[in-house]
């Protein structure tokens, strides 16, 4: 197994810089997820790690070895893509063994490795079938099996589950995680789905516009987002972000709601801020908190989502446990647990240390 170290990586297409000074350290056996909006450079970074694309600047080491001039097939890396493109005219067993056959591996060894991969992925009974005779999840398992037979040091995944339906995705993400732990493999996993990233990864890289916004454990990202981008990207439903200002009177949220100055455990200079409040950190009150007019109520069974509009027109969402007696049109207050309020500089978007430290 191996660590992956990326140092000062830059990728340009003509004048367009799609990766800007990426520095990253994935530990041996670690599962790291790459998340970020479409076009932020996730696949580009992965392809450069695999050696399928060249970087413009910077260095990459796998297992401590600089791989700048190492051919993709000699990097001990296996990549699993979103479109798994199995060979339609080959059986599952042939698909699994094909790369080894090309590499001139003996029939006996291929057969051993294919059996082992089939066992790991519960494909034993499907080895004689053709891809068209498999379900989406089974095909995805075969694609994973093709990676496993090569005994790679590092697995690279580019949205491997995005073609599957929601239910199967949940099953497969647990399987991939279990597999990675069993093989003690290092994994870099690209996904659009922040829940997938949160549940699978040891650490998550949040990318935006070719840069790393934050690299931290799932709960660090959730509890201490470094900036507004990360705060709004991680967490579902999304964190409420409301304009606020600090004066000698205290913190004013949405122009009406005051949080007295003694609530700030540390000194924050006067000025404009953005307050971040997670929907699950809000409770409903008749008198305390930010006054809202309820616009939409969504019962999900376990929770009730209550949308409200503040007096200044900001939309806010509260996620309340259980069932709540509230109707659209009613005037209520969203009470805030001050200890859980996030504060960001309005100009830079970067986080001020937690309000109630
Ligand atoms: N061969 C290329 N030539 C020019 N620009 C490219 C090329 N490949 C990618 N890009 C650009 O690089 C940027 C990053 O693309 P990339 O595929 O890495 O994004 P991504 O984060 O994987 O997005 P998605 O989530 O949509 O898959 C995009 O703006 C894309 O248009
Ligand atoms: Mg991509």
Which ligand is the nearest neighbour of the Cα of 38? 1
Kindly report whether the peptide bond that precedes residue 68 is cis, defined as omega within 30 degrees of 0. no
Could you tell me the pTM of the whole model?
Answer: 0.90
Q: Is the pLDDT reported for residue 267 higher than 70?
A: no
Share of the chain above pLDDT 90, in %: 63
Q: What is the CATH number of domain 237-345?
A: 2.40.50.140
Q: Is 191 in the pocket of ligand 1 (CB under 6 A)?
A: no
* DSSP type of residue 151: -
Report residue 349's pLDDT band, with 50, 70 and 90 as the boundaries: very high
Tell me which of 26-30, 114-118, 316-320 is least confident: 114-118
* DSSP type of residue 174: H
159 CA distance to ligand 2 middle (Å):
7
Q: What DSSP element (H or E) covers 134?
A: none
47 CA distance to ligand 2 middle (Å):
10
Report residue 129's pLDDT band, with 50, 70 and 90 as the boundaries: very high
Q: Is the pLDDT reported for residue 266 higher than 60?
A: no
Residue nearest to atom 13 of ligand 1 (CA): 39
354 CA distance to ligand 2 middle (Å):
34
| pLDDT value for 268 | 75
Looking at CATH, the fold of the domain delimited by 4-225 is given as Rossmann fold (3.40.50)
Calculate the CA dihedral of residues 67, 73, 77, 80 and round it to 10 degrees: 130
> Which is nearest to 309 in space by CA: 256, 345, 351?
256
Average pLDDT score, the chain: 90
Phi and psi at 272, nearest 5°, equal -95, 140
Alpha helices for the chain (secondary structure H) = 42-50, 92-102, 107-120, 136-148, 166-183, 194-200, 218-223, 228-233
Q: Is 260 in the pocket of ligand 1 (CB under 6 A)?
A: no
Nearest atom in ligand 1 to the alpha carbon of residue 40 is 21
**Coil/strand/helix, residue 337:** coil
Q: Is the pLDDT reported for residue 183 higher than 90?
A: no
25 CA distance to ligand 1 middle (Å):
22
| pLDDT value for 353 | 67
8 CA distance to ligand 1 middle (Å):
19
The larger pLDDT score, comparing residue 277 to residue 168, is at 277
Count of CA atoms in the C-beta half-sphere (13 A) of 239:
26
163 and 82 Cβ atoms separated by less than 8 Å: yes
| pLDDT value for 356 | 43
> Which is nearest to 207 in space by CA: 3, 4, 11, 1?
11
5 and 163 Cβ atoms separated by less than 8 Å: no
What end-to-end distance do the CA atoms of the chain give, in Å?
40
> Which is nearest to 176 in space by CA: 199, 151, 204, 152?
199
Q: Is 43 in the pocket of ligand 1 (CB under 6 A)?
A: yes
Taking phi over 0 as left and psi of -120 to 50 as alpha, with beta for the rest, 325 belongs to beta
Each residue of 49-98: pLDDT tens digit?
999 999 999 999 999 999 988 988 888 898 888 777 789 999 999 999 99
Report residue 260's pLDDT band, with 50, 70 and 90 as the boundaries: low
Q: Is the pLDDT reported for residue 205 higher than 70?
A: yes
| pLDDT value for 175 | 84
Count of beta carbons in the 10 Å neighbourhood of residue 128: 10
Q: Tokens 């409770």 belong to which residue?
A: 283
Pocket test for ligand 1, best of 9, 10, 13, 161 (most atoms within 8 A of CB): 13
Q: Where are the domains of the chain?
A: 4-225, 237-345
Produce one character per residue of 31-70: b if its CB has 16 or more CB atoms within 10 Å, e if not.
Answer: bbbbbbeeebbbbbbbbbbbbeeebeebebbbbeeebeee
Count of beta carbons in the 10 Å neighbourhood of residue 213: 21
Q: Is the pLDDT reported for residue 330 higher than 80?
A: yes
| pLDDT value for 357 | 41
């Amino acid at each position: 197994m191996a660590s992956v170290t990326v140092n000062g990586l830059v990728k340009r297409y003509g004048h367009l810089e799609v990766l800007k000074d990426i520095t990253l350290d994935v530990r041996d056996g670690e599962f790291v997820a790459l998340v970020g909006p479409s076009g932020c450079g996730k696949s580009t970074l992965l392809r450069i790690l695999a050696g399928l694309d060249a970087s413009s600047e910077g260095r990459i080491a796998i297992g401590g070895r600089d791989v700048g001039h190492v051919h993709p097939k000699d990097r001990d890396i296996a990549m699993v893509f979103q479109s798994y493109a199995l060979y339609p005219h080959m059986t599952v067993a042939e698909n699994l063994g094909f790369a080894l056959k090309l590499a001139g591996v003996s029939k006996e060894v291929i057969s051993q490795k294919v059996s082992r991969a089939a066992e790991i992925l519960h494909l034993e009974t499907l080895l004689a079938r053709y891809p068209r005779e498999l379900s989406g999840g089974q095909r995805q398992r075969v694609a994973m099996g093709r990676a496993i037979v090569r005994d790679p040091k590092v697995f690279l995944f580019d949205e491997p589950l995005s073609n599957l339906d929601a239910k199967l995705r949940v099953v497969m993400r647990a399987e991939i995680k279990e597999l990675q732990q069993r093989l003690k493999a290092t994994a870099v996993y690209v996904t659009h789905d922040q829940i997938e990233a949160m549940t699978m990864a040891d650490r998550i890289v949040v990318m935006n516009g070719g840069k790393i916004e934050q690299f931290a454990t799932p709960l660090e990202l959730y509890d201490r987002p470094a900036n507004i981008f990360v705060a709004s990207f991680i967490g579902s439903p999304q964190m409420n972000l409301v304009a606020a200002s600090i004066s000698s009177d205290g913190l004013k949220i949405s122009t009406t709601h005051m949080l007295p100055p003694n609530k700030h455990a540390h000194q924050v200079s006067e000025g404009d801020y953005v307050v971040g409040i997670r929907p699950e950190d809000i409770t409903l009150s008749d008198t305390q908190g930010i006054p809202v007019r309820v616009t939409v109520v969504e019962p999900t069974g376990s929770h009730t989502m209550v949308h409200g509009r503040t007096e200044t027109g900001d939309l806010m969402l509260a996620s309340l446990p259980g069932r709540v007696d509230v109707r659209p049109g009613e005037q209520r207050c969203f009470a805030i647990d001050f200890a859980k309020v996030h504060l960001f500089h309005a100009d830079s978007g970067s986080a001020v240390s937690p309000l109630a430290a």
